[in-house]
């Protein structure tokens, strides 16, 4: 009986702490950028459907493309529209995700100048069970312009709250790439958010 009381008290304490504490900062964040690249004539960028976890990949891709539409410099093709148009032109979405060459082929069908590829991972046995990888590729050259990896810590699995942390990771990636696109359009490099910072501590210029 005493052991059960102690267990109940521990569970109650954990519930209170989870409700009162702020969400953790990222545990994995890496942003690699080719600073020497300057797009000369980009007009349209397509966000292809993401690969990875089926429960979250579609909403993550759409939410990411929503962020990118906040900038006025490039026309953004959303994943849903891209999927429909690609299918109408005879190309199917690969179940295991696009290779660079497949992504370039799809982007050409949409007459886009650059393309985003993404992958959403949720793994129960991992130091960073929620992880998103996004690449920006120049269609003409096949050159990877930027690669973004962001993940959240394993203790979030105490509640299996994958959805919330996938959203937070997508938010962070969206803000970072929004700055990158704005910088590319202006011919300069804009530093993304600092490593290991909580996404909720950053506001992009359009939110002010």
pLDDT, tens only, 21-59:
345 555 667 888 887 787 778 999 999 999 998 989 999
How far CA 194 is from CA of 31, 75, 93, 138, 150, in Å, comes to 10, 27, 34, 25, 12
**Residue 188 pLDDT > 80, yes or no?**
no
pLDDT, tens only, 123-145:
766 566 788 999 999 999 999 99
Average pLDDT, the chain: 78
* Rounded percentage of the chain residues whose pLDDT exceeds 90: 43
Query: Which domains are present in the chain?
Result: 24-184 (3.40.50.10070)
DSSP structural state of residue 111:
T
| N- to C-terminal Cα separation, the chain | 55
pLDDT, tens only, 59-81:
999 999 999 999 999 999 999 99
Residue among 131, 168, 142, 157 nearest 30 (CA): 131
**Residue 182 pLDDT > 70, yes or no?**
yes
pTM for the whole structure: 0.77
Beta bridge partners of 144: 137
How far CA 182 is from CA of 9, 78, 99, 176, 199, in Å, comes to 51, 18, 26, 10, 19
Residue among 36, 32, 38, 190 nearest 114 (CA): 38
Alpha helix positions (H), 26-91: 57-68, 79-88
């Amino acid at each position: 009986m005493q052991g059960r009381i102690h267990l109940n008290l521990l569970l109650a304490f954990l519930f209170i702490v989870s409700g009162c504490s702020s969400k953790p900062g990222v545990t994995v964040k890496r942003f690699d950028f080719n600073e020497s690249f300057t797009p000369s004539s980009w007009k349209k960028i397509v966000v292809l459907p993401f690969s990875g976890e089926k429960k979250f990949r579609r909403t993550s891709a759409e939410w990411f493309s929503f962020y990118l539409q906040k900038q006025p410099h490039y026309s953004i093709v959303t994943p849903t529209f891209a999927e429909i148009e690609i299918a109408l032109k005879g190309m199917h979405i690969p179940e295991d995700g696009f290779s660079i060459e497949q992504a370039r082929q799809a982007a050409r069908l949409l007459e886009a100048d650059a393309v985003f590829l993404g992958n959403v991972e949720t793994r129960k046995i991992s130091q960073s069970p929620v992880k998103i990888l996004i690449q920006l590729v120049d269609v003409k050259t096949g050159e990877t312009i930027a690669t973004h990896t962001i993940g959240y810590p394993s203790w979030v699995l105490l509640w299996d709250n994958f959805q919330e942390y996938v959203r937070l990771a997508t938010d962070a990636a969206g803000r970072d790439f929004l700055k990158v696109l704005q910088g590319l359009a202006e011919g300069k490099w804009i530093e993304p958010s600092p490593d290991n910072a909580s996404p909720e501590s950053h506001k992009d210029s359009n939110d002010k």
